[in-house]
């Protein structure tokens, strides 16, 4: 007796690849749109300028050499103990910046105990007049028809060691001018060892700018 067994072939389920791919594409596009929508922003910009930046100038000047506005190049001879040597000079701030200070130092070449001896050597004082000094001489003498003030009092030796500030100057302000008289004095105590000596002095004025002037 024969038994008949019918073999039925197994059916394979075909996956809808096309539908899956399409669905994935649509899902990705939707996600991209959602992403863009979440981070969209509106912007606006503005630009300033152009802006020019320029620096100021620090310039101090003395009056014309040899004129009444600058006698510092006029030599002095036959100086004896107790003598004074007066010389006028105008000091001006011709820069655009105000100054914090103006200092004066002195150098000597050649040098002698006339300038290196702080006690018996040359003493120096500087006076200011609110108007131009009236001059007579030589030998030069000066009178002030306005107000006078003391700007400096020390000795040449000290100014060789360290420059000193000049007090109360108009030249601290841009455009300001000071009418000065520099007076050197050889003290009566100058010893005989100073006879026949010579020193040649140079006056070194230095202006230093003030801060906080930017407009």
pLDDT band at 39 (very low <50, low <70, confident <90, very high): confident
Token pair in block for residue 211: 């801060």
pLDDT band at 5 (very low <50, low <70, confident <90, very high): very low
3-class state of residue 214 by DSSP = coil
Residue 126: CB partners within 8 Å, gap ≥ 6? 104, 150, 151, 152, 153, 166, 180, 181, 182, 183
pLDDT tens-digit map of 79-88: 999 999 999 9
What pLDDT score was predicted for residue 156? Answer: 98
Helix (H) or strand (E) holding 116: helix 113-116
pTM for this model (two decimals): 0.79
What pLDDT score was predicted for residue 36? Answer: 53
């Amino acid at each position: 007796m024969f038994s008949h067994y019918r073999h039925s072939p197994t059916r394979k389920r075909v996956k809808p690849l096309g539908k899956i791919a399409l669905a994935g594409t649509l899902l990705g596009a939707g996600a991209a749109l959602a992403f863009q929508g979440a981070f969209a922003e509106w912007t606006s910009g503005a630009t300033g300028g152009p802006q020019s930046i320029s620096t100021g100038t620090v310039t101090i000047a003395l009056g014309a050499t040899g004129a009444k506005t600058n006698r510092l190049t006029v030599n002095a001879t036959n100086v004896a103990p107790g003598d004074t040597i007066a010389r006028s000079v105008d000091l001006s701030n011709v820069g655009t910046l105000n100054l914090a200070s103006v200092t004066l130092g002195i150098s000597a070449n050649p040098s002698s105990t006339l300038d290196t001896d702080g006690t018996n050597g040359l003493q120096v004082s500087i006076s200011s007049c609110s108007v131009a000094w009236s001059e007579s001489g030589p030998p030069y003498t000066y009178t002030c028809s306005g107000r006078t003030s003391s700007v400096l009092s020390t000795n040449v030796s000290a100014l060789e060691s360290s420059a000193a500030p000049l007090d109360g100057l108009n030249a601290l302000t841009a455009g300001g001018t000071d009418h000065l008289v520099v007076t050197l004095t050889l003290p009566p105590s100058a010893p005989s060892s100073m006879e026949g000596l010579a020193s040649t002095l140079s006056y070194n004025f230095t202006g230093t700018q003030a801060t906080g002037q930017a407009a």
